[in-house]
Structure formats: C-alpha cells, structure tokens
Amino acid sequence: MTRPNPSSARLRPGFPARLDTRNTPATQARPAITPKPLPGAGHKNTLIHGVGLDSSAVRQNMVVKLAQQGLTDAAVLQAMGSIERHRFVDTALVNQAYEDTSLPIGLGQTISKPGVVCRMLELLRQGSPGRLGRVLEIGTGCGYQAAVLSLLCHEVYSIERLRGLHDKARDNLRHLRLANVHLLFGDGMPGYAKGAPYAGIIAAAGGEAVPQAWIDQLAVGGRLVAPVSAGLTSAGKQVLLVIDKTPQGIRQSVLEGVYFVPLKSGIA
C-alpha cells in the first residue's frame, strides 16, 4: 500500500498550531513548541549523566532485544535507538528506562513499554517506505513517543488532555529542539481538524471505539493504529486496531491484546 505524502495538501495548517478553543472556554490555547536554546545547563536530567544511561550502548541493547522480539522495521529501531528514553521518566525510575516495561509518568498515566511503542510505530509505517507526512498522536503523555515519531514523519501533532502532562512533555522535549513536533493541550476525541488530513493517526489511550472524527481526518491511503475495547473482545480487554482508509473504503484489522490507559473525554 502506498500512502500519499500530504505535505502538499491544501489544508496544511499555519504555525504555531493552536487548538480552536472557541467551544471550550475553560481551555487556554497554548502555542506549539517553539525550539529555543536551553537556558544554561540546568536540565533536571543532567543528574544522571555519568551513570551510563547517556551512552548509546544502553539503547542499542534495548534495540537488539526489540529485534529479538520480531520487530524488524529498521527506521523505527534506529529512531528508538537514538531517543533517550531515560530523559522522559522521573529520576527515581531512570534505571528502568531501557527495560521493556511501562512506567508511571504521573497523574495516573504511563509511558508505554518500548516493545509496544515499536510495534505500533511499525504498524503505522507498514507499506510506507520513507518518512510519513503528518501524523496525529492522541495522548502525548511524557512526550517520548512524539519524539520517536518526529524522526519518522514530517510533522507530529500530539494532543494531551491533562495539562500537567502537556507541560511535562514540553519540558522533556525542549532539549531535543524538534521543530516538527507540535504539542497541543486539549481533548483528542474530536481529533485535530486543522492538521488534517493525516497520513497516520496513533492513539496511546484506549476507548470503546475509534471516534469517527479520527477516521474522517485520515487521508485516503492513511493508516490509524489504536487500542480499543468493548464489543470486539470481552469486557475490560483491549486489542490493537488498525484502520486503513483506502480509495475503496475503510479496511479494519483486529490484532493482538494490549493494555493501555483509558481514552477520556474533556480536559483536566
């Protein structure tokens, strides 16, 4: 399957991207990340330099283990080998940053385990050699997956409903100065129409169904990867769903069981 590079699409939004908050007065629109130099060397993770986590060997080891699990997309493995996951977790957890485990990131949320991030990004890219065009991520969390995505597509729009995590992601990503990552504070249920159409949509939180808005905002030839529950499996269980928007219509595949935090409406 080939997917169009939507970078030439007429709907390409202006920058910085802002959520249209006219219908959600409680929300304060925030500008997207503007790459700025770090003020001095005061980044919190300066602390962990010298304990080995800033060495690429530790990430290569993680990548080798991911490859042993059968994850084979070289571009995704390379991207995961270059983004320092330990910079996205709390200091007390950095020693577990390269284990294949999910970790708490505050406010009851978790960063997905590397194996799941790798699998979902691999699915998102399947059949599309080269960089994807614009991608929408629902659930920025700590910003790790957005950072990996930034190496695999032209533009990343990442939306988070919890202000505390939106702010944390912005802090975590600052050192990378990624001009193609646009962080949005808001409810991702209605997607983000201003960035549409998307070559890919990826959700890091699971609802009972994929909102129709996400499918509407997918480009023809685009792919959506999301955890979903209910209806498809027994109560409480989630599966990975892949939706392809083809010129002939929607094609849906139900894949393996997964465990993600719930997709919730509104902001907090």
Distance CA 140, CA 15 (A): 19
Angle (deg, nearest 10), helices 74-82 and 56-68: 150
Would you count residue 162 as binding ligand SAH (CB under 6 A)? yes
Determine, following the binding rule CB under 6 A, whether residue 112 of this chain makes contact with ligand SAH: yes
Per-position x/- string for 163-192, each x denoting binding to ligand SAH as judged by CB under 6 A, each - no binding: --x---------------------xxx---
Nearer to ligand SAH by Cβ, of 137 and 244: the residue is 137
Q: Decide if residue 144 touches ligand SAH (CB under 6 A).
A: yes
Contact 205, 264 (CB under 8 A): yes
Residue 104 beta carbon to ligand SAH: minimum distance, rounded to whole angstroms = 10
Interaction of residue 160 with ligand SAH, rule CB under 6 A: yes
Strand arrangement of the beta sheet that strand 238-246 belongs to: 181-185, 153-160, 132-138, 198-203, 218-229, 238-246, 249-258
Residue 112 designated active-site:
yes
The active-site residue, picked from 7, 55, 112, 158, is: 112
* Helix%, strand%, coil% for the chain, nearest 5: 30, 25, 45
Cite the active site residues: 112
Q: Which residues bind ligand SAH (CB under 6 A)?
A: 105, 109-112, 138-139, 141-142, 144-145, 159-162, 165, 187-189, 204-205, 261, 263-265
